[in-house]
Copies of this chain bind each other. A is one copy, B any other.
């Protein structure tokens, strides 16, 4: 690479943290004590599956920007009824009725409490010795703060959708991040486990590093990402990425 990399910017959900097991665990912790019995992993997958269709109207300007916490909450209101419509035999206790709003608000915090994949903390620590590090996530600032505190991430800044008031892969999100860092795009590298995100970053002149997360979707076979050779780097973990970047 001709120009030296100065900053690494990260996708977060799926790339740094395991949303599937985390959302399932949090949902069980919140709902099981009050009598709900769900297929927790299937529920997590269904909640996440509303992600792309929910962001699309914002990206194309049909809906005004709203923070991901707000959108997650709307997604939850659509998804949860499908899972509590067929209660277990102890439904006699009244669990057919939807949980109260305060319980749903607590459940929505699942996305603030996700665990990092095991390589993330040692990888970030090594990368921090040489590069500026910032999340460029579709998650809002307070989710990023919660995840950082929960996992011990140290960021130089929290960039991403809330700063740009739009959602990846819209160019504005990557451009705003690069402008906030005051760096030429070619000195910034987007790190993500999703090709669409890296393609969006590359279109704005950023370098790209693909990190494989084969377990993100659980046993489901991940969709093909096309030829990964189009990305500047391909890594199996953040530790592998740090090694490839010489730290």
Contact = CB atoms under 8 A, between A and B. Distances in A.
B163 A156 contact: no
Interface residues of A, number: 20
Contacts of A39: none
B180 A162 contact: yes
Given A149-B156, A158-B157, A158-B158, A142 B181 contact: yes
17 contacts: A69-B182, A132-B145, A140-B182, A141-B157, A141-B181, A142-B181, A144-B157, A145-B156, A148-B156, A149-B156, A154-B154, A155-B155, A155-B157, A157-B157, A158-B158, A162-B180, A163-B163
A129 B163 CA distance: 27
Contacts of A145: 132, 156-157, 181
A69 B144 CA distance: 26
Contacts of A158: 156-158
Interface of A: 69, 132, 140-142, 144-145, 148-149, 154-159, 162-163, 180-182
**Copies of this chain present:** 2
A181 B143 CA distance: 9
A245 B7 CA distance: 35
A69 B182 CA distance: 10
A116 to B, nearest CB: 17
B180 A142 contact: yes
A68 to B, nearest CB: 11
Contacts of A181: 141-142, 145
Contacts of A157: 141, 144-145, 155, 157-158
Contacts of A149: 132, 156
A132 B201 CA distance: 30
B132 A182 contact: no
Contacts of A142: 180-182
Contacts of A148: 156
Top-3 shortest CB links A-B: A142-B182, A157-B158, A141-B180
Nearest to A154: B154
A8 to B, nearest CB: 13
